[in-house]
Structure 1
């Protein structure tokens, strides 16, 4: 009927400190990403495909953290981790859905940078508004039927043993560990989906950046090379952080990962990386900083 999320119950003395830290982190993520969406929306200089994708990415980050952090805060506050069978299934479904969308959206952003740097003359034609909307739509919805099917498949398994999940949200590996009987086919399905939504997009990003770096190195001036690198470096940092942790979580053989390590890695990609992403994109982006200064000047003259 229900599961019990252990969360951070192994460190009871730090429950309130963790509640305060995670609450501040959640509010920071909401505020920073909302500011990015707002300034991209109102600043005419930011009406380009790159910033259109970035605003979608910021909105996706808000959705992604909202699936996990509020629930975790409630568990820390009440000191209980009870979650119903259907709520657990829904949480897993949305985490996988938004995670898959993030993988695809990062690939779309890499393609945008590839066209901008390697084919600049045709960039306005290739990356017109209609194409941008279509790419974002594909990133948002293409994984939905796959994720729903996989979640239904996992939660149709018999759970006849322990109902305790040693995690702070209903992630796929710890839930699958609780299932009775043979889960071999389910594990194969997890690997296949992970390859499709993690490894293939990652390889496409690697190919795109291989061509981008090759083109940048051909530029005659150091200033031109520096400018080209600066437009790509933020995205590249986010890709390395996100894909690194996602690969360890969903592509590592099941017996090799302890529950404690899995929890720590999940904490990294569900909370720490979304906290860093707005900072990476704003502090390393002159256009965003200029737009932010203009907005602050209007609000606080």
Structure 2
């Protein structure tokens, strides 16, 4: 360091919404309300699907885990954002930044894989109903959930290590709402090409492979639904599948734009908006999508509230 006359950065400043100084209090109130809504909606969905006997099925087992995962995913970014808006401090150490980035990726990849597992569950339920209890037994469901949570952990820890092994010698201002690889690359000294390629390849694999599995599952589901004998069966299959597809499109769409678009087309403003969308807005909508479009969940909620 002395030979190259470089001072390595040991902490960053998350600029966030510092360009809106007159709206800090309003933004704090909005994001606090959003965070409380996410916690309430997802926790309510977890409790309802756990205690109601009618919801003790693989679909709701996966849904409970999705709600838990989204609560964790949101808790990686929103509490820190709220603290920055409240204190106006905005500084974050290099280690804390690396931890936030790592958990953001771990939970994001886990959600991609869990959505693929949920699509497979719907495929078996609709296309192979007679074999459904045999194929989607409790042991298989647990294994799919554990695999979704854990399969990407070693790779993502390695990717995070590569990103934070780069030299950051100033400036130290991250023009983003949380620590993430794309804005960090702009602050790195030296060549970041190989690390950027590695991050994009890993993102492409963990986004594309689950997405292709989801597409193949739904291609078979779409051809099977019209062949179902009863109108009520077709209606129920369409309802559960459309809810899942809405969540998939929202999550994959915004995440793909953030991490797979060319570097030249990225802007700080659009990056913040898209990051807010997939880390904050989608977790608010998901409990609503799965509850308001699901008669079984609505019936379970009525039972609980009436009691």
TM-score bracket for the superposition, by shorter chain length: over 0.9
Which of 261, 271, 276 is equivalent to 2:285?
276
CA RMSD of aligned residues (A): 0.9
Quote the residue 1:124 is aligned against: 133
Which residue of structure 2 lines up, in the alignment, with residue 11 of structure 1? 20
Say if 2:47 is the partner of 1:45: no
Aligned-pair CA distance for 1:288? 0.7
TM-score (ref. length: structure 1): 0.97
- Cα separation, 1, equivalents of 2:81 and 2:58: 35
Partner in structure 1 of residue 269 of structure 2: 260
**Equivalent residue, structure 1, for 2:36:** 27
Could you tell me how far 1:181 is from its partner in structure 2? 1.0
Q: Does residue 210 of structure 2 align to residue 185 of structure 1? A: no
After the TM superposition, which parts of structure 1 deviate over 6 Å for at least 4 consecutive aligned residues? none
1:223 lines up with 2:226 in the alignment: no
Q: 1:72-114 CA distances to partner (integer Å, 9 max, x unpaired)?
A: 0000001121000000000000000000000000000000000
Deviation at 1:221, TM superposition (A): 4.1
Unaligned runs of 5+ in 2: 1-9
Q: For residue 97 of structure 1, what is the aligned residue in structure 2?
A: 106
Query: Unpaired runs of 5+ in structure 1?
Result: none
Mapped partners of 1:4, 1:292: distance in 2: 44
- Aligned length, in residue pairs: 298
Within 5 Å, which residues of 2 pair with 1:42-191? 42-191=51-200
TM-score (structure 2 length as normaliser): 0.96
The corresponding residue for 1:293 is 302
Distance 2:192 2:217 in 1: 37
Q: Which deviates further from its counterpart, 177-186 or 125-134?
A: 177-186
2:241 pairs with one of 232, 235, 258 = 232
Question: Take 2:138 and 2:232, find their aligned partners in 1: how far apart are those partners?
Answer: 29
CA displacement, residues 250-273 of structure 1 (integer Å, 9 cap, x when unaligned) = 111111111111111001000000
1:213 aligns with 2:225: no
Q: What is the CA distance between 1:41 and its match in structure 2? A: 1.1
Quick one: distance in 1 between partners of 2:57 and 2:185? 43
Aligned to 1:10, the other structure's residue is in SS state: coil
1:247 corresponding residue in structure 2: 256
Deviation at 1:223, TM superposition (A): 3.2
